[in-house]
Structure 1
Amino acid sequence: MLWAHALFLWKSRCIMATYVDILKSEFPEIDTEVFEYITGVLDCGGVEFEDGEEVYDAIGGLLQGSSADCKNEDDIRDICQQMFNTLKLSNGHAASKQVLLDAPVRLSQISAECGESLTVDARKLEKAEAKLKQKQGRRNERDSQKTTNPLVLEEASASQASSKKDSRVDLSGKNRSYDIRIENFDVSFGERSLLQGAELSLSTGRRYGLIGRNGLGKTTLLKMLASRSLRVPAHITILHVEQEVAGDDTGALQSVLESDTVREGLLTEERLLNARIANGTAEGMETIRLSEIYAKLEEIEADKAPARASIILCGLGFSPKMQTQTTKEFSGGWRMRLALARALFAKPDLLLLDEPTNMLDVRAILWLENYLQTWQTTILVVSHDRNFLNAVVTDIIHLHSQRLESYRGDYENFVKTKEDRLKNQQREYEAQFQYREHIQVFIDRFRYNANRAAQVQSKLKLLEKLVNVRASVHRFPDNFEKLSPPVLQLDEVEFYYNTDQRLFTQLSVSADLESRICIVGENGAGKSTMLKLLMGELTPVNGIRHAHRNLKIGYFSQHHVDQLDLNVCSIELLLNKFPGRNEEEYRHQLGGYGITGELATRPVASLSGGQKSRVAFAQMTMPCPNFYILDEPTNHLDMETIEALAKALNKFKGGVVLVSHDERLIRMVCRELWVCEHGNVRRVEGGFDEYRDILQEQFRKEGYL
C-alpha cells in the first residue's frame, strides 16, 4: 500500500512537469515574463482547474497574444485542454490532490529515474504523513482564527544572513564607513512575505527614492531600518520622520534646537560647570573641560543654530509668531511639520522620509525640494509625488516582486528604462484580472453552498496567493445633460468663523462644466473653507452662492476616512448608502477602483490608507455627479493610481475644482490656477510655472534659500 502511494506521488510529479514542455513547443518565441507568469498560475492554481475551459479562461488571452503563427481560438482551447490533462491526476480526487501538493516526500529518496525498481522506508513515509496531518491541522486552526477575528493585529519582522566577521568589525568600532549595505534579508508582515533574499545598498551622500505600488512594504522597510531590525552599522545615526512631535509647553523653535543632542549636551554641561565656577566649587580639570566645550561649540557653530532652525521653520510655513508658540498649541499636521523640521536640523547620517509632501502645501514642498538638493548625508524617501522625486533624488529603488532593484537617476530616467516592459505588464495585468474575476464568480456562486464549502475556501486561498492587480480608476460616469453656465458661483462673498479672523472679503468666483480649476495656497489660507462655500456646506456671512438647479456635486474630503463606515465591508458600505441594487453592481463599482475579490468583503477598518481612498472614490462616483470638488485627493495614492485618476478626470465631461499639492496632477488636469491668499482668490494667468517663479522669488528675497 505504501509502495503504491509513493509510486503514485512520483508519477504525478512527472505528469505535472509536462505542461512546461507543451508551452515551450507550441510557443517557442513567448516572452520570458509571460512564460513565468503562466507557469506561476498553473503552479499555484493547477489543482483548482475543473476542466480545460477554466485553463483557457485563465491564460487563453495571454497565449493568443504570444502566438507567432497566429493560432486561432480553437487551437488555443486545444492547447489549454492538453495542459489541463497534464495537471489532472490519472486516478486522483480532491483529497489526493491535497496530499500531492503538501506531501513532504523527497522523490530523490524514492527513485531517480522512470521505470527503476522502487523501495520505500515505511517508517519514514508514516512520519511524513503524520507531519502532513499536523501541518494541515495548524493551517485549519489559522484559517479558523482569521474567520472569527479578521482584525487580528499583525506585526512586521525582518531577518538577514549575518556574518561573524561583519559583527566583529562593527563591535570593534573599526568600521568608519557611512555606506550601508544589507545583503540577503527578508521582511514580513504577519504571515505575508514582503521581501525575500533582498539586497539594499545606500552610498553616503546620495538621495534615494523608494517606489512601488501601495501595500508592497515600503513603509515597513523604513520601519525595519529605523528600528535597526535590519543591521545598520552602529556609528550611523538614523532619523525616521514618522510620528508628530508631542504637545507640551516647549516652544516650536526650542523643540527644533533640542533635536541636536550634541549641542544640547554641550550647552547643559557648560551651564553646570559655570555654576560650579561661580560657586567656587570647581576643580582644576573642570576649568580645562570648560575650555574644551567652548572650542567644540565654536567648531559646530552653535551660536548660528537658532538662525538655522528659524530658517528651516520659516521654509516649512512657521511664521515668526508661530515659532514662539508651544507645541501643544499646534494641530497634528503642524506637529508633523515640526517633526520634519527637527530631523532636517539634526542632520542624521541616514534620513528616512515617508510621504513628506502629504503634510505640506505647494510653497513648503518647493522649499523642501530646494533644501534637500544640498543635503550632505544619505536620504531614503518614499513618495508618490513624481515631481518631488525628480527634483530631489539621485537614485531610484524599485520595490516589486519581493525584491529591490536600483536605478541611477531621477524618476523620469527610471520610467524610460522601464518603458519596454510596460506592454508585458499590461498583458499580465489583463490576464490576471480575468483569472481573478473567474475565481470570484465561482466564490460568489457557491459561497453559501455547504457541499462546496471546501472548494470555496480553496478558491479564496488561491485568490490571496495571486499578486494584487494594479489599482486603477477606469473613468468617472458622465451620462448627464449639459448645463448652461455658470453652474456654480460665489458673488461678493464675505465669510469668517469669528469676527477677529475674516477669511474672505468680496470673494467672487465662478465655474461651469468645462472648468478644470486647481486652488493652491499656504495651509490656513482658507482653501478647504472655500470648497465648503462652493458646495453650500457653509453659508456666507454676506454675498450670494448661486448653483444650477440640476447641479449634482461629488465631494472627496481631505479627511475622507471620516466619510466611511469602518465597521462594515466595502460592499455593505455601498449597500447602506445606495440601497436597492444587487451585489454584482456594488462589486463592479468597487472593482473600477481596484477593490476586487476578497478586498471588497474585508472590514473597511482593515484596509490600507490607499485602499480606503479608493473605496471613498467608489462611494463618491456611485450617484453619477456632474461636478467634482476634490480636497487633496492624492494623499495615500501610489503613482499608478494618481496617473489613472488624472486620465479619468481628463475624460470626464463635467466640472472639476480641486485642492492639491501634487504638481504632476495639477499639470495633467488643470487649466486654471487660483491662489488663495490675503482673504481673496486671484487667478494666475501663467499657470503653475508662474506660481513656482513667484514662490522662488519670495524665497530669495526672504533669505530662505
Structure 2
Amino acid sequence: MSVEAELLKVAPGLDRVLTQYCVGFLKYAINTEVTDAADELQNAIQSVTAILQSAAIDTAPETITATVDSMVKTLMPAEGLAKQAAAGTNRKLEQTINMSSRSGVSGTMNLVATIDLEATASRKVESRVDKKKLEKAEKKIKAKQDKKLHKNVEYEASKLITATNDTKSYEEFYMQVNPLQLGSSAAGKSKDIKVENVDVQIGGKRILTDTTLTLAYGRRYGLVGQNGIGKSTLLRALSKRELSVPTHITILHVEQEIVGDDTPALQAVLDADVWRKHLLGEQERINGLLAELENMPLAAQSRPDIQSKEELGSLLSDVHEKLAEMESDKAESRAASILFGLGFSTEKQQFATRTFSGGWRMRLALARALFCKPDLLLLDEPSNMLDVPSIVFLSEYLQGYPSTVLVVSHDRAFLNEVATDIIHQHSERLDYYKGGNFDSFYATKEERRKTAIREYENQMAYRKHLQTFIDKFRYNAAKSSEAQSRIKKLEKLPVLEAPEAEYSVHFAFPGVEKLSPPIMQMSGVSFAYREGYPIVSNVDLDVQLDSRIGIVGPNGAGKTTVLKLITGQLQPTTGMISKNGRLRVGYFAQHNLDYLDPKLSALSFCAREFPGKSDEEYRRHLGNFGITGPVGLQRMELLSGGQKSRVAFACLGLTNPQVLVLDEPTNHLDVEAMDALSDALKNFEGGVLMVSHDVTILQNVCTSLWVCEGGKVEHFDGTVKQYKKRILDAAKENGVVQQH
C-alpha cells in the first residue's frame, strides 16, 4: 500500500492535494542532508501532524500521530534504518501538539501523548520538491487555518459556557455578557450583526460549516429547521457571545426558568434589568457622597483620596443619562403590564417566585427578557410554555418590538404574525428568506427546491450526452477533435450537488372498531381538591366517534383536569361520567416522554409494553410515526424531543384506541411532524378531544371549540381566529397591549 493510500485509509475525508503535500513535505525532510537533519525531520513531522489533525476532525488524534510515524518509517531509506538500528537511540519531540490551545477547540481534543521517533542519518537523494514553495504553501495553509479557527465555535469549550449560571449569579452573568459602559452611548453605532465564516459544533457533531449569520437591526427572524438540526445550539452560542457580536449590542436569551425564592414576581422582573438596578444603586451612592462633601470642611474636600464635586457630578450626569435612555421612571408600570399580559393577575404579581410551578417560572423568565428590551432578543420555542391568551399577547407585543428578535418556533400561526424574515437552518448552513412570513417561506423554499432539481437533472442529462459522444468518438481519427472539444466543455461545467431529499413525516393511527353511541359523556360534572374551591363546575361534554373537539383557555383554568376526569384518572366531586363498556381511550399527556425508558430502543420498549407482535410488525408500526431505519434501534436517550414524541404516539397507536384524548400534543414536534399529526388526526376513524395552544392544529383538526375559563367549560360559537380576536380586543381595551 502506498503512503498516500495508508493516510487516506485512516482519514478518508482528506483532500488528495493536502495528502500529496504532506507526503512530499516528509520526503523532503527525510532526504535532506543538513547538520541538524534530525531536528529538520522532527519539525516536519510536527507540522504535518498538526495539519492533518486540523483537517481530519473525524479521526482520533492518536490515529493520525501513529499514521505519521508509520509514514516516516515507510519513507525512510534502507541505509537510514540500518544506521538507526545500529545507534539504538531514540529522540523525543520537544513538545506535544495541543490542539485545545487554539481558540474555540474543545479541551476534550487534548493530545496527551508525545511522539517518539528514531533519529536517523539519511542518504542524499535529489528532491523534486522546491523547499521555498513548500514553505510558502505551509504559511498560506497556516494563515487560512488561523483565520477560520478564529470564527470556529466548539460549543463545549466556550469560556462562557463553562461559567454559566451554575457558577455565577444572574447579575454577574448578565454584566459579563452585556458590559455596562458609562459615558458612552450606543446611539449612532450600528446594531446590525454580520458574522462570516461561522463554524459551530457540539459533541463532535457539526452544526454549521463556513456559513454567514446576518441579522439586520429591527427585523424579527424566525429560525426554522428539523428537530435536532442545532437551532437551540446556535441561540446559545449567540447568547454567550461565542460569535463575534459587538459589545454595544445587548443580548438576552430566554431558555431556562428562573430560580425560585422569596422575591415577588413583579420585583423579580424589575431586578432582571441589571443595568437599571446597578445604575439606581450608583445614583444613591453618588448622592450620598455628595451629601458627605457638603458637610466636609473645604480643606478635607481637597484631599487626593476624595473625589471632587465636579467628578461626582459628571458621573451622576452619566448615570442620569443612562437611566433616562432606558426610561427607568416607567419601569414598574411596564413590568406590571407585561406580567398581566402573560397571565399574572395583579394579585399573583406579588406572590414569591418560589410559589410558582416550572411553567409559570418560564413565563417569568420571558417577562424579564421582554422587560429588559435587549438589542437582540433570543426566544427558544416560547409558545411551548404559554396558553393561547398569552401567545396572543406575546405575538402582539413582538410586532411592536423595536429591536432585533431571533425566535425558534414550530408554531406556523405565531411565525406568520411575528416574523418579518425566515432563516432556514439545514445541511450545516443558513438560508435566508427576506421580507416574508412562514407561509411565504414555505412556498419559496419549495420553488427553490424544484428549481435546483431541474438544474441538476438538466446538467446530468447534458453531461451524459457529452460523455456518450466522447466515449463513442474519442479514438476515431475523424472525430477526435470534436471529442476533445467536448472533453473541455465537460471539464468546465460547474459541479452541482444533488438536491437534498425532501424531508417528510407520515403519521397513521390504526383503524377503529365501531361502537354504538353514547361513547363518552360528562353531565353536570364538578371537581374540587378542597371543598368550596372548585376547579371546574357543571361541565356537560359529549364525545362521539366523529368528534373533533378542541379545548382552549388560560393556564390553570382546569383544561387538563377535564381530560383527567373524562379518562378516569380523577373522580368527579359531583355529576356523572358515562362511557361505552367496550370503549378504549388513548391518552397522550405532556409527561408521556418521561414514561419512555431512556436505556431501551423504541423497538424494545414497544415489545416490552405491548407484547405479542413480531419485530417486523413493531418496526412497521414505528415507521407509521416517522421512526424508521436505525432510529428505532437507538437508545431513546439519544433521540431528540421530537423523535421521543413520535415514539409516544406510536405507543398510543398500539393501544388501538377508539377515542384519542390529547394534552398539548404538539410540544417538541417540528413543522413537518405537526402537519403529519394534523393529517393523521383528521383521517382517524375515532373521536378526538384535544387541549392545545397551537392555533394551526386547532384550525386544521377541530370542528368544535370549547373555552375553559373561570371554572366553566362552555362551547364557543366561532373559529379559533375569532377566539383570538376576542382575547386581543379585551387586551387592548384593558391597555395590556398597544393599539397598532
TM-score scaled to structure 1, two decimals? 0.71
Decide whether the 8 Å contact of 2:409 with 2:415 is kept in 1. Answer: yes
Contact residue 489 and residue 508 of structure 1 kept, 8 A = yes
2:214 is aligned to: 201
- 2:225 equivalent to 1:225: no
What is the alpha-carbon distance in structure 2 between the residues aligned to residue 664 and residue 425 of structure 1?
30
Residue identity opposite 2:380 in structure 1 = D
What SS class does the counterpart of residue 183 from structure 1 fall into? strand
Q: Decide which of 163, 166, 181 is 2:194's aligned counterpart.
A: 181
Letter in 2 for 1:395: D
Task: Describe the superposition over 1:246-278 as per-residue Cα deviations: whole angstroms up to 9, x where unpaired.
Answer: 111111101111122232122212333455566
Instruction: Judge conservation of contact 2:661–2:690 (CA < 8 Å) in 1.
Output: yes
Deviates more, 1:595-604 or 1:341-350: 595-604
Q: Which has the higher contact order (CA 8 A, sep 6+)?
A: 1
Deviation at 1:494, TM superposition (A): 1.4
Instruction: Name the amino acid aligned to 1:403.
Output: R
Q: Residue 301 of structure 2 corresponds to which residue in structure 1?
A: none
Residues 595 and 332 from structure 1, CA distance in 2 versus in 1: closer, same or farther, beyond 3 angstroms? same
1:570-585, aligned counterparts within 5 Å?
A: 570-585=602-617
How far 1:292 moved relative to its partner? Answer: 6.1
CA distance in 1, matches of 2:689, 2:201: 41
Alignment deviations for residues 267-294 of structure 1 (CA, whole Å, 9 cap, x no partner): 2123334555667667744467556655
Q: What does residue range 255-294 of structure 1 map to in structure 2 within 5 Å?
A: 255-275=268-288, 284-285=309-310, 286=312, 293=319
Q: CA deviation at 1:178?
A: 0.6
Deviations for 1:99-153, whole angstroms, at most 9, x for unmatched residues? 895788659969xxxxxxxxx99989xx999x99x999949999xxxxxxxxxxx
Hey, what does 1:252 align to over in structure 2?
Answer: 265
Q: Which secondary structure does the structure 1 equivalent of 2:272 belong to? A: coil
Aligned to 1:161: 148
Q: CA deviation at 1:302?
A: 2.1
Inter-CA distance 426–640: structure 2 relative to 1 (3 Å threshold): farther
Change in CA separation of 1:640 and 1:156 when aligned onto 2, cut-off 3 Å: farther
- The answer to whether the Cα contact below 8 Å between 2:257 and 2:362 also exists between their aligned partners in 1 is yes
Aligned to 1:397: 423
Task: Give the aligned length.
Answer: 548
1:411 corresponds to which residue?
438
Cα distance, 1:589 vs structure 2 = 1.7
Aligned pair partner of 1:565 in 588, 591, 597: 597
Q: Which amino acid in 2 is paired with 1:366? A: V
Task: Please tell me whether the aligned partners of residues 520 and 673 of structure 1 are also in contact (alpha carbons under 8 angstroms).
Answer: yes
Structure 1 residues 217 and 256: CA distance shift in structure 2, 3 A: same
Q: Distance in 2 between matches of 1:602 and 1:324?
A: 47
**Structure 1 residue corresponding to 2:647, chosen from 615, 622, 638:** 615
Q: CA deviation at 1:606?
A: 2.3
Cα distance in 1 for residues equivalent to 2:717 and 2:276? 48
Alpha-carbon contact 2:10-2:63 (below 8 Å) kept: no
Report the equivalent of 1:497. 529
Name the SS of the counterpart of 2:644 in structure 1. Answer: helix
After superposition, residues 457-606 of structure 1 pair within 5 angstroms as 470=503, 472-478=505-511, 480-606=512-638
Identity of aligned residues (%): 46
Using the TM superposition, name which of 279-288 and 494-503 deviates more.
279-288
SS in 1 for 2:359: helix
Query: Kindly tell me: are residues 550 and 599 of structure 1, through their superposed partners in 2, closer, same or farther at Cα, counting changes over 3 Å?
Result: same
Paired AA for residue 209 in structure 1: G
Cα-Cα RMSD = 3.8
**8 Å CA contact 2:10, 2:59 repeated in 1:** no
Counterpart check, 1:632 vs 2:658:
no
Shift of 1:499: 1.8
* Residue 585 of structure 1: how far off its partner (Å): 1.5
1:525-560 CA-to-partner distances (Å, cap 9, x unmatched) read: 000010011111111111111011121111111122
1:387 alignment partner in structure 2: 413
Task: Please give the alpha-carbon distance, in whole angstroms, between the structure 2 residues aligned to 1:680 and 1:303.
Answer: 40
Match of 1:654 among 686, 694, 701: 686
**Residues 550/467 of structure 1: CA separation in 2 closer, same or farther (3 Å cut):** farther
Q: Equivalent of 2:378, from 343, 352, 370?
A: 352
- Would the alpha carbon gap of residues 220 and 159 (structure 1) be closer, same or farther in structure 2, given more than 3 Å must change? farther
Distance (Å, rounded) in 2 between the aligned partners of 1:562 and 1:161: 41
Quickly say closer, same or farther: Cα 1:513–1:123, change in 2 above 3 A. Answer: farther
Q: Aligned partners of 1:216 and 1:273: how far apart in 2?
A: 50
Instruction: Give the equivalent residue in structure 2 for 1:336.
Output: 362
Which structure would you say has the larger Rg?
2
Please report the TM-score for the alignment, with normalisation by the length of structure 2: 0.68
CA distance in 1, matches of 2:19, 2:147: 30
Cα displacement (A) at 1:617: 0.7
Provide closer, same or farther for how the CA distance between residues 260 and 550 of structure 1 changes in structure 2, counting only shifts above 3 A. Answer: same
CA apart distance, 1:564: 1.5
Change (3 A) 1:662 1:337: same
Is the CA contact 2:589–2:662 (under 8 Å) kept in the aligned structure 1?
yes
Change in Cα spacing, 1:218 to 1:137, as seen in structure 2 (3 Å) is closer
Superposed, 1:297-308 pairs within 5 Å as: 297-298=323-324, 300-308=326-334
3-state SS of 1:398 partner:
strand
- Post-superposition Cα deviations, 1:357-398, rounded to whole Å, max 9, x if no partner, equal 000000000011110001111111000001101101110001
Contact 1:160 1:186 in 2 (8 A): no
